[in-house]
A and B are shown apart, each in its own frame.
Chain A
Amino acid sequence: MATPNFKHALFCAIVTLIIAYPILGLNLVAQGTKVGLEGATTSTVISVVLAAFVVFFFQLFRDSIMGNLGKLPKLNPLSGREPMPQAKRAKLESWVLTAIVVFALFWPFLVSRGSVDLATLVLIYVMLALGLNVVVGLAGLLDLGYVAFYAVGAYTFALLSQYFGFSFWAALPIGACLAALFGLVLGFPVLRLRGDYLAIVTLGFGEIIRILLNNWTAVTGGPNGIGGIPEPTLFGMEFGRRVKEEGNTSFHETFGIAYSGEHKVIFLYLIALVLAVITALVIRRLMRMPVGRAWEALREDEIAARSLGLSRTAVKLSAFTIGAFFAGFAGTVFASKQGFISPESFVFLESAIILAIVVLGGMGSQIGVILAAIAVTILPELAREFADYRMLIFGAAMVLMMVWRPQGLMPMRRIHIELKRQE
């Protein structure tokens, strides 16, 4: 046994104790009007000590453990397999995607209202994550204020409907375009900045927009938010029990069926589904177009890309604007689904969650991002007792993913052309 290894292991174990025990083991509690200390439960203390032991032994035998891990048979039996030929893969992928979309179209008629509503939320996150994926995953620009564009979309619809009586369908393109315009205007000056400065500046922008929404009470209602946002209509048919706007008819009366709140929820779900599919298709298309290749080129090597004649500003700006556009889409749907929005829905944490989805799904990969959006939204619903741990797990997962699998759970495969092998 090498001595330095032992010393290092001991040091690591002690550090583990130091960082875990005071915070976990000694709890500050209010005792009447004073603050007192309370020892944690024995099990907490035992687990802290146990953790220190685990760290100690891991560090002590680190080399041999890591060596053996490498020799272990791969857990994934498929990992050794030859990658599928590209043509077959692409065909399979499009079949699977079509099947998923068809299933998603019929699924809401079979399940309960709560599940459909949750699925709508998932689709909103899918749109957001796909949009952010363009910015972060493809163009390699870390945008920590993405939620600002989402807010712009949501508030555009809310304000237009409140002051000018716009309907969902009229506000949807306006909201998305306005968000894109915001992206363009904000992006123009900041995209000259290097990666990490850009992250901070976008974070700052996100916060500024939220604070302004919160302070501009006369127009945005400030912290009171805006309520009474209308639901989407189907060719002028409303889904509410009573018709809210003059000239509209109600869906259930037109078709002579009994009123059911489910119609509305399902309709909103279908709209979100269509929009999410549009988002995915448009971005898929863009990825194969020169502009998509330019995003990736710039991400991989900025200097090389520039020397090949790509305009840095134009390429980055296009990614930023397109990302913002889809955030505006999602924002409009969100406002319509909620019927009420306030600045507290657009905090930094929301940006962090969307980023976590993109990172977990694999930056650049569409299917990965969609699956991650589903997982991140549904898992806390399924395991409510872990709801408190949700953000802790997100944080840890982000670190671990970066350390072990920065390409994400479902890494992106670049489309490439294979030359036929000469016989």
Chain B
Amino acid sequence: MQDLLYFFQQLINGLTIGSTYALIAIGYTMVYGIIGMINFAHGEIYMIGAYTALIAITGLATLGIAWLPLILIVALLCAVIVSSSMGWAVERVAYRPVRGRHRLIPLISAIGMSIFLQNYVHLAQGSRNIGFPALMEGSFRFGSAEGFQLSLSYMQITIFITTLVCMTILSLFISRSRIGRACRAVSQDLGMANLLGIDTNRIISATFVIGAALAAVAGLLLGMYYGSVDPLFGFIAGLKAFTAAVLGGIGSIPGAMLGGLILGVAESMTSGYLSGEYKDVVSFSLLILILLFKPTGLLGKPEVEKI
């Protein structure tokens, strides 16, 4: 019984972190689906979202506002606005001018952007870890008070629900709205979509903005859940999210969700039953194995190499 509860606790831990990986992974998967490049700077946009949320929360606290829903809404709005603008600007500055050139060129540009943004925040805000105030505490508990108690915190529940809501809205948006339809058309065939009168530049900008907005949501949630931010944490989270996107099949939105959850659970089981030291080794190995044996991922469509 004890061991079973322990297992479930680790499962919950894994699913929580997995669902935020999924939120970040959306940004990778949508951009890759449309213009076929890895947006290396996406992890940094997530980090900037977390910073902005913290700045907003601190600002409200300074003003003496303590009503939790208001704080959350304002922080969320600020994070989403700043991150989306960042996503838009990054695409404008670093990716649009090099679109259509040799595959290496946008990729190197993206790595440069990632290094730039990391150091931009590092210089502006300092390199120290800054704590998020604890806004949402408390948890549901299961199991006898004597032994191991399973706890499901309010924060974890919030993360699950928010992720589900975001994913549902996004899926509906992609399948029903005009822009969503245009997105799908562009990802099928960019040139053709252009010929048919779709403003492809706008659609590409839109995917960057949507991806950045979801990353900002993840930034706020994770900042509150873990408790601190620093300028370097976006990079590794970005890599993990990219792994999740590849695992689920890059270009596929349900795939990103699935990949995120699998990766999160794999990580928490590794630290739960083996050792935390090997957590990153496991996720990178998972990435390599997937790319080697099933490059299309779990839910991805096989891609024909175009000339």
Contacts and interface: CB of A to CB of B under 8 A. Distances in A.
A193 interface: yes
Dominant secondary structure of chain A at its interface with chain B:
helix
B112 interface: yes
Interface stretch (B86-94, B135-143, B172-180): B86-94
A205 interface: yes
A331 B255 CA distance: 41
Interface residues of B, number: 66
Interface in B87-114: 88-89, 93-94, 97-98, 101-109, 111-114
Interface stretch (B157-165, B214-222, B282-290): B282-290
B116 to A, nearest CB: 3
Contact of B52 (A22, A203, A399): A22
A23 to B, nearest CB: 5
B131 to A, nearest CB: 6
Interface string B113-138: 11111111101111010110100000
Given A200-B38, A395-B119, A403 B94 contact: yes
Given A22-B78, A23-B48, A136 B104 contact: yes
Contacts of A215: 277-278
A101 interface: no
A58 interface: no
Interface stretch (A29-37, A233-241, A273-281): A29-37
Interface string A397-417: 111011100100000000000
B168 to A, nearest CB: 28
B82 A199 contact: no
B9 interface: no
A142 B104 contact: yes
Interface string A368-407: 0000000000000000000011011011111101110010
B144 interface: no
Contacts of A37: 55, 58-59, 62
A315 interface: no
Interface residues of A, number: 58
B111 A355 contact: yes
Among A27, A193, A207, A399, max chain B CB count under 10 A is at A399
Contacts of A200: 38, 239, 242, 246, 287, 291
A195 interface: yes
A29 to B, nearest CB: 8
A18 B81 contact: yes
Given A23-B48, A27-B124, A397 B55 contact: no
Interface in B258-307: 277-278, 280-281, 284-285, 287-288, 291-292, 295, 305, 307
B58 A35 contact: yes
Given A35-B58, A388-B123, A197 B295 contact: yes
B85 A15 contact: yes
A19 interface: yes
A339 interface: no
B51 interface: yes
B193 interface: no
B130 A28 contact: yes
B206 interface: no
B173 to A, nearest CB: 22
A402 B287 contact: no
B37 interface: yes
A189 B292 contact: yes
Interface string A185-213: 00001101111110111011101100110
Contact of A303 (B62, B285, B307): B307
A199 B112 contact: no
Interface of B: 36-38, 48, 51-52, 54-55, 58-59, 62, 78, 81-82, 85-86, 88-89, 93-94, 97-98, 101-109, 111-121, 123-126, 128, 130-131, 133, 239, 242, 246, 277-278, 280-281, 284-285, 287-288, 291-292, 295, 305, 307
5 contacts: A23-B120, A35-B131, A192-B292, A203-B239, A355-B108
Interface of A: 15-16, 18-19, 22-24, 26-28, 30, 34-37, 136, 140, 142, 144, 189-190, 192-197, 199-201, 203-205, 207-208, 211-212, 215, 303, 352, 355-356, 359, 363, 388-389, 391-392, 394-399, 401-403, 406
